Amino acid sequence: MVTNADIVREYHTRLWAKGDLSAVEDYWLPTAEVHMTGFDGNGIDVVKADVERYFKAFREVETQIHHLVSEGDMVVLHWSTSGLHVDTYDDIPATHKRITMTGIDLLRLSEGRFVECWSMWDGLSVYEQLGVLRLERQSSPQ
């Protein structure tokens, strides 16, 4: 029996590890609610826009699933994706640096497809790696 966690793993691998953009239409309902930084909305067009933006700017993409937790119709996916920055990303010209994004997605499924998603990723770290943001690190008390 295929579980919701299996479906999320298969989708993530197909899209991010293999670069198969058709996975978006195969796994998302057109009416899905999507809550992503800068890409909130309904429908798979929101997901496609985010995915296309990433794959336009980054090459040599690698991904890793750190955790998958499933309960009922919900799956939590903890992931990281790295890529070589070769084109404009959020108005940032190519830096040719390899950066790593880390995030967590909470996905709700119905009949094997995504109907709702909340996606959170560490944008501050990404912009620091791209060299457009400098984060002050606090030293630990001795």
Q: Residue 61 sits in a domain of what CATH number?
A: 3.10.450.50
Identify the pLDDT of residue 39.
67
Q: Is 13 within the bounds of a domain? A: yes
Total domains in the fold of the chain = 1
Tell me the C-alpha distance between 3 and 73, whole Å: 10
Entry pTM:
0.88
Taking only the tens of pLDDT, the chain with its 142 residues reads: 999 999 999 999 999 999 999 999 999 999 999 998 766 677 788 888 889 999 999 999 999 999 999 999 999 999 999 999 999 998 999 999 999 999 999 999 999 999 999 999 998 999 999 999 877 766 666 6
Cα gap 29→59, rounded to integer Å: 27
Q: What is the pLDDT of residue 50?
A: 87
Query: 142 in a domain, yes or no?
Result: no
Q: How far apart are CA 46 and CA 80, in angstroms?
A: 20
Domain membership of residue 122 as a residue range: 4-129
